[in-house]
């Protein structure tokens, strides 16, 4: 199995908050997903007229029945296909986020702090170094950059995200 490389792990780490937002959005969409059938259309096709009943014959023709049943079948098919697609996207993003979170928790705290400041809080190197100095003592830019590289390498190694999953998630991010 082929796993992601450094730059791909870095990209996913940068997009962590976006992935969390997409996950929340998809979860809400799935929870609120309801099957809304156009019953007026089906009744109209079955019985004719606007109020649902054809006063002249009160009979359902075979052709209109087939149309209405076909319409209902198409709605059901679309409903289940859309719901299944949302579940697949939700599951994939959830797995990627779980792997990133597990890996992030396993790296040394100094690497966590630097990655958080640099990628999630989008601080420049001077701001990163100032923040680290306040909590951990003196650090130079080269050391901070080395910790950043080590942090992403460690996340890549621990997370073991396969390249196919990465490519699918990138498609979700690019939509």
SS percent in the chain: helix, strand, coil, step 5: 75, 0, 20
Tally of domains in the chain: 1
Residue 80: pLDDT band with limits 50, 70, 90: confident
Residue 113: pLDDT band with limits 50, 70, 90: very high
User: What percentage of the chain reaches a pLDDT higher than 70?
Assistant: 74
Q: What is the pLDDT of residue 52?
A: 44
Cα(16)–Cα(14) distance, integer angstroms: 6
Among 26-40, 79-93, 145-159, name the one with the lowest average pLDDT.
26-40
Q: What is the pLDDT of residue 54?
A: 44
Among 74-83, 95-104, 113-122, name the one with the lowest average pLDDT.
74-83
Residue 88 in any domain: the answer is yes
Residue with tokens 């259309």: 41
> In whole angstroms, how far apart are CA 136 and each of 99, 111, 128, 140, 146?
27, 12, 12, 12, 16
CB 65 within 8 A of CB 46: yes
Q: What is the pLDDT of residue 38?
A: 46
Q: 72: left (phi > 0), else alpha (psi -120 to 50), else beta?
A: alpha
Calculate mean pLDDT across residues 65-72.
64
Task: Report DSSP letters for 48-107, one per residue.
Answer: -SSSS--TTT----HHHHHHHHHHHHHHHHHHHHHHHHHHHHHHHHHHHHHHHHHHHHHS
Q: How many CB atoms lie within 10 A of CB 165?
A: 17
Q: What is the pLDDT of residue 89?
A: 93
Domain span at residue 100?
6-174
For the chain, how many helices (H) and strands (E)?
Answer: 8, 0
Residues linked to residue 162 through DSSP beta bridges, in sequence order: 3
Q: How many CB atoms lie within 10 A of CB 118?
A: 22
Residue 139 in any domain: the answer is yes
For residue 98, pLDDT over 60 is answered with yes
Residue 1 in any domain: the answer is no
């Amino acid at each position: 199995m082929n796993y992601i490389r450094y730059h791909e792990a870095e990209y996913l780490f940068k997009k962590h908050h976006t992935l969390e937002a997409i996950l929340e959005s998809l979860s809400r969409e799935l929870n609120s997903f309801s099957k809304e059938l156009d019953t007026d259309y089906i009744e109209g096709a079955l019985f004719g007229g606007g109020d649902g009943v054809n006063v002249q014959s009160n009979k359902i023709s075979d052709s209109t029945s087939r149309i209405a049943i076909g319409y209902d079948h198409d709605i059901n098919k679309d409903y289940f296909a859309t719901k299944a697609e949302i579940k697949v996207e939700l599951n994939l993003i959830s797995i990627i986020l779980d792997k990133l979170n597990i890996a992030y928790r396993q790296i040394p705290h100094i690497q966590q702090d630097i990655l958080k400041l640099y990628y999630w809080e989008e601080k420049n190197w001077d701001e990163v170094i100032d923040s680290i100095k306040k909590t951990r003592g003196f650090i130079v830019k080269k050391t901070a950059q080395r910790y950043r590289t080590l942090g992403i390498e460690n996340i890549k190694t621990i997370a073991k995200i396969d390249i196919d999953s990465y490519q699918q998630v990138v498609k979700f991010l690019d939509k």
